[in-house]
Amino acid sequence: MQDIHELTIICGVDKSGNREDVERIRICPGEIVGIVGPTGSGKSSFISDIEQLSQGDTPTQRKILINGEAPGRDIRTDPRKKRIAQLSQNMHFLADMTVEEFLKMHAKSRNRNFDTVEKVISIANTLTGESVHPDHQLTILSGGQSRALMAADIAVISDSPIVLIDEIENAGIKKQEALKLLACEGKIVLVVTHDPVLALMTKRRIVMRNGGVRQVITTSPGEMDVCNELLKLDNYIMSLRNTIRQGGLVEEAVIV
């Protein structure tokens, strides 16, 4: 199978039907790109265009190229050939199956071994508070547990050179660890986020408004410094959150 060395997004139209402001966005392996913008500005639509490898056939009219070419139909549709993994914004599973049954079916649909199933569950359990079991019914999992399982499933079963992540911060799972898990080296990674730490951890960020791309900003050295300061603050908040979650007291906590 051919290697992916470039993902190209050719601009379409925004919600008012006007051309987007950035004609073409090229992303190469090893790069993490952020997608930011107000709620409803079209961030999720942007990454689902990539997931579908749209060819001007969605309301945004964007076209997605792989290695500079429009991908063929089987690459667009067959999960065995599709090389894109997407963690969507959905918080729950609707399938009426056990965790194990579901993961086995998914492994089959992606041509993977069944021994990946155990690995998915054990990774999921490093991201969530209360453990997920193979014989749990998918539909009883909490939002956080579901997200943790979806993230682990993507890291193992859907392991793909292009990874799309939609608001990993929104379910109370360990966001930095989850990002590290999904955004391994050599991949093309797009992260939709409202979180300033995650946004500044990327090399570039795409700014959305009214359904269209408005600009692409490269993270400056100054912003990287801000990011490092924010990381410290964020870790501190995380540790407080953990203490409170475990039923501990935080009276001694210092305000930085």
Partner 1 sequence: MKLVVVAGTPGSGKTSILMHTIRSLKQSGTSPAVVKIDCLWTDDDKRFNRLDVPVRIGLSRDMCPDHFAIYNTEEILQWAREQDAGVLLNETAGLCLRCAPYPDDCLAVCVIDVTTGPNTPLKVGPLLTTADVVVTTKGDIVSQAEREVFRERVNEANHDCRIIEANGLSGQGASELAEIISEMPDVGQELSLRHNAPLAICTLCTGEMRVAKEHHLGVLRHIDGFTEYKGE
Ligand X SMILES: Nc1ncnc2c1ncn2[C@@H]1O[C@H](COP(=O)(O)OP(=O)(O)OP(=O)(O)O)[C@@H](O)[C@H]1O
By CB under 5 A, residue 170 contacts Mg ion = no
Q: What is the distance between the alpha carbons of residues 212 and 49, in angstroms, rounded to a whole number?
A: 12
Comparison of 6 and 51: residue with beta carbon closer to partner 1: 51
Q: Which residue has the tokens 């929104």?
A: 170
Q: Report how many residues bind ligand X under the rule CB under 6 A.
A: 16
| Smallest distance from ligand X to CB 185, Å | 27
Name which of 214, 210, 213 is nearest 15 in CA terms.
210
Q: 79-110 in b/e burial notation, b at 16+ Cβ within 10 A?
A: eeebbbbbbebeeebeeeeebbbbbbebbeeb
| Smallest distance from ligand X to CB 11, Å | 10
Comparison of 22 and 97: residue with beta carbon closer to partner 1: 97
Selected range binding partner 1 among 102-110, 196-204, 214-222, 224-232, rule: CB under 8 A: 102-110
Instruction: State the binding partner of 228 from Mg ion, ligand X, partner 1, none, CB within 5 to 8 A by kind.
Output: none
Distance of CA 2 to the CA centre of its chain: 23
172-178 contacts, C-beta under 8 A, 24 or more apart: 172/143, 172/144, 173/127, 173/128, 173/144, 173/147, 173/148, 174/127, 174/238, 177/126, 177/127, 178/127, 178/148, 178/151
Binding mask 27-56 for partner 1 (x = CB under 8 A): ---------------------x--xx-x--
Among 43, 62, 63, 106, binds partner 1 (CB under 8 A): 106
Instruction: State the binding partner of 41 from partner 1, ligand X, Mg ion, none, CB within 5 to 8 A by kind.
Output: ligand X
* Residues at the interface with partner 1 (CB under 8 A): 48, 51-52, 54, 57-59, 77, 79, 85-88, 90, 93-97, 102, 105-106, 108-110, 150, 153-154, 157-158
